[in-house]
Amino acid sequence: MSKQQHKKGKGDFYAGTSGLVLPVPNKQAYPAAFQDKSRLTYYASLFNSLEVNSSFYKVPMAATVKRWATEVPADFRFTFKLHRGITHNKPLVFEDSLVERFMEIIEPAGEKKGALLVQFPGGTRFDSFTQFEHLLEVIRQCDPQQKWDVCVEFRHSSWYMAETYEVLSAYHATMVRHDMPTSKPPEWTAAAGFEYLRFHGPAGDYKGGYTTEALKIHAARINTWLKEGKRVYTYFNNTIGDALKDLNTLTDLVKV
C-alpha cells in the first residue's frame, strides 16, 4: 500500500480513517523503515489526514498533540472530534470553559490544523438551536483567525432548514455530508470554502464496504469541489468493515 499523496490543484484533498487504522495487525508487521517509529508515523506514510476520535472520549494533553504534530509530514492535517462532554448533554448544555480548554489543548497542532468535528447525537434536535449558535460563537472566539475548519454533523433531520444553514455560514462553518440512514442530510450548497464527508458504512453501522460505482460518484463530486478551490476532508468510519480498502479506492479515483 503506497501513501495517498496530497492532491495538487486548486483545492486540497485530505483523506483518512476515523480513528487510527493500519493495514497490518501489529508493529512486527510494519515495514522495516517504520519498525522504530510510532503508529502515527507509519499511518502518515500512507494517508495525509486523521480524524482523531479519541478526543471525543478523552481530551488529550496539549503535550501529546504537540508530539503528534512532529510525527507527521508537513502536508498532513489533523481533525479533532469535539469532546462529548460539550456536545452530548441534554439539551446541549455546556460550559464555555470546557470549549475554551479543548481549543487551547489542540492549538499545538500548529500548521497541521485541519477540521474541528462537532457531532450532535440523534437526541439533540432543532429546539437546541440557541445553544448550537452559542457553541459556534465560543469556538470562533477561541479561533478568531479561523485556522480550524469547523464542521457539524447532525444526527436528527429537524436541523435541515434555512436557519441552520444561515448560522453555519455566519460562523464560517459547514455541515458534514454523512450517510447515516435515519439522518442523512439533504443536498445543499455549502457557503464555506471546505467540505467534509463522513462514511459510516452502507447501512450506517460502521461495517461493510462501498462499491466502486458508489465511490466513483463521490469522487466526481470531490473533483468538482477541488476544481472550485475548496478543501475537502473525507473520512471512513466503517472501521469494522472495509475502511482502508474504500479509502484507497476513493483516493485513487480523486484526480486533480
Mean pLDDT, rounded, of the chain: 95
Confidence of residue 2 (pLDDT cuts 50, 70, 90): very low
Per DSSP, 23 falls in state S
pTM, rounded to two decimals: 0.94
Three-state SS for 96-114 is: HHHHHHHHHHHHHHHHHEE
Question: For residues 70-84, b (16+ Cβ closer than 10 Å) or e, as one string?
Answer: eebeeebbbbbbbbe
Q: Per-residue pLDDT tens for 38-92? A: 999 999 999 999 999 999 999 999 999 999 999 999 999 999 999 999 999 989 9
Q: Which three cell numbers stand for residue 201?
A: 458504512
Per DSSP, 160 falls in state -
247 and 15 Cβ atoms separated by less than 8 Å: yes
Does the bond joining 91 to the residue before it have cis omega, within 30 degrees of 0? yes
Q: Per-residue pLDDT tens for 98-114? A: 999 999 999 999 999 99
**Beta 12-17 vs 113-119: how paired, if at all?**
unpaired
What's the rounded Cα separation, in Å, for the pair 133 and 167?
7
pLDDT for the residue numbered 163? 97
Q: Which three cell numbers stand for residue 72?
A: 507527521
pLDDT (average), residues 137-144: 98
Confidence of residue 235 (pLDDT cuts 50, 70, 90): very high
